[in-house]
Amino acid sequence: MLAPLRFTRRFACGLLLTLGLSPMGQAQSVAKADQAVFKPKFIKQQMLKTTQWQLAHPKHKVTDWTNGAFYSGVFAAYQTTKSKLILDSLMAMGERTKWMPDRRYDHADDIAICQTYLNLYRLKKDRRMIEPTIAVVNKFRREPGPETQQHNIAWWWCDALFMGPPVLVKLGVIQNQPAYFSTNDSLYQQTYKLLYNQQEHLFTRDAGYLWNEAGEGRKESNGKQVFWSRGNGWVMGGLVQILQELPKDHPTRSFYVELFKQMSARLIQLQQPDGLWRSSLLDPAAYPGGEASGSGFDCYAMAWGINNGVLDKATYLPAVQKAWISLNKCVSAEGRVGWVQPIGADPRRDFSADSWEVYGTGAYLLAGSEVIKLK
């Protein structure tokens, strides 16, 4: 546990998150600082700084799922800032990869990067930017692959609902092909029926975390069922991108809206006093450090919900504000987003202000792209 007297800027995020402290005792000075993080100029500066830092510190294969999430945020940063530097970086990335997904045609992780290709195509209208995506999605729709053969379901882990659905839905809009919407609906429903807990209104990570009828299965240290913040955050982010694309009159749109509302209502109950969510949603004490990537996606999703009239502003705005304030305490002076849970099905080891991953930056950028629109 960090010592309270060592409350420097570098450790501010860690101290608040680890101890669960509220800054209410410093209401006047902190309130002034809090107001600053909502100014459009500040948000754009932070988005540029964090994007540039992350681009200068690559960590994984460009077409990896981690970068699929990161570049989704980078595109949102371009939309917000209109930075030529960011757009040039996005185009350079696509040229380096030859606009290809990763190697597994049937694995949602390996098509996540295609979200960015499709977004860039809408700007440039160059068909070669999306032809590999069309080819891999069509193969995926035609030929059940190893993932389905092994798990009897294509999207067998909840994070896949951020990776795969936005690609199918975006492509359906671009190609004016409702068949892609139908494919997404079918696959999404399979995952929903398997992993969505109707009592908790949360997704389990995969079938290995499900309880049997006797209540037997993996439990947290407090005896509760395991629901990871990051996976549920990724589901929320994926829902936003689906709802941004699906036509208003699409027959299944109401399902996604209702799911989004249910999850938002549950997540707001699980937000911690400092504004962030913990890795374990139902056992926050198990991993006391606030987790920035899941929290970033939740902040993004709830801000989008407010901005688009899906969520009640009076109810959700305080939660979004608290989250955005705390997320900015997780950004170092040079632009590194810290307090990000490492790669893995679960947080096998604890993490700190120095823990960063590219998807943490992506989540932060997505959050900023919606927070800046709040009225």
Which residues are within 8 A (CB) of 325 and not within 5 positions of it... i.e. 6 or more apart? Answer: 34, 37, 275
Distance CA 205, CA 226 (A): 8
Distances (CA, A) of 44 to 205, 285, 370: 33, 34, 12
Distance CA 202, CA 195 (A): 8
Contact yes or no for 77/70 (Cβ under 8 A): no
Contact yes or no for 203/196 (Cβ under 8 A): yes
Distance CA 80, CA 132 (A): 27
Helix 40-55 with 65-81: angle, nearest 10 deg:
140
Q: Give me Rg for the CA atoms of the chain.
A: 20
Q: What is the DSSP string of 249-292?
A: T-TTHHHHHHHHHHHHHHHHHH--TTS--BSBSS-GGGS-SB-H
Please confirm, yes or no, whether 159 is among the known catalytic residues. Answer: yes
Q: Which member of 106, 109, 159, 283 is catalytic? A: 159
Active-site amino acid positions: 159
